[in-house]
Amino acid sequence: DIQMTQSPSTLSASVGDRVIITCRASRSVSPQLAWFQQKPGKAPRLLIYKASNLETGVPSRFSGGGSGTEFTLTISSLQPDDFATYYCQHYLSYPFTFGPGTKVDIK
Amino acid sequence: EVHLVESGGGLVQPGGSLRLSCEASGFTFSDRYMDWVRQAPGKGLEWIARIRNKANRYTTEYAASVTGRFTISRDDSKNSLYLQMNSLKTEDTALYYCSSGTKIHDYWGQGTLVTVSS
107 residues of chain A, pLDDT tens digit each: 999 999 999 999 999 999 999 999 999 999 999 999 999 999 999 999 999 999 999 999 999 999 999 999 999 999 999 999 999 999 999 999 999 999 999 88
| Mean pLDDT for chain A overall | 97
Question: Residue A7 and residue A1: Cα distance in Å, rounded?
Answer: 20
* pLDDT classification of B60: cutoffs 50, 70, 90: very high
Report whether A97 contacts A71 (CB < 8 A): no
Interface test with A, best of B103, B106, B107, B112 (most A CBs within 10 A): B103
Per-residue model confidence as pLDDT tens digits over B65-106: 999 999 999 999 999 999 999 999 999 999 999 999 888 999
**Shortest CA gap B50–chain A (Å):** 10
Beta bridge partners of residue B71, listed in sequence order = B84
| Mean pLDDT for chain B overall | 97
Does the beta-carbon distance from A50 to B106 stay under 8 Å? no
Closest CB to B47: pick one of A50, A96, A101.
A96
List Cβ neighbours of B92 (8 Å cut-off, separation of 6 or more): B38, B66, B85, B114, B116
Percent of chain A with pLDDT over 90: 98
Percent of chain A with pLDDT over 70: 100
Please choose, from the candidates B83, B36, B42, the residue with its C-alpha nearest in 3D space to the C-alpha of residue A96: B36
The whole-number pLDDT of residue A107 equals: 86
